[in-house]
Amino acid sequence: MDLTTTFTVILFAVSSLLTVFFGFMGARPMDPRKGPRMVPWRFLMLLSFTAALLLLVHLLTALGLKSDPPMRY
19 in a structural domain: yes
Neighbours of 29 (CB within 10 A): 5
CB 24 within 8 A of CB 31: no
34 in a structural domain: no
44 in a structural domain: yes
- Domain holding 49, by residue range, is 5-28+40-62
Domains held by the chain: number:
1
Report the alpha-carbon distance of residue 13 to residue 49 in Å, rounded. Answer: 11
Report the alpha-carbon distance of residue 21 to residue 24 in Å, rounded. Answer: 5
56 in a structural domain: yes
pLDDT tens per residue, range 55-73 = 999 999 888 887 777 787 7
| Per-residue pLDDT at 1 exceeds 70 | no
70 in a structural domain: no
pLDDT tens per residue, range 2-59 = 788 999 999 999 999 999 999 999 999 888 898 888 999 999 999 999 999 999 999 9
71 in a structural domain: no
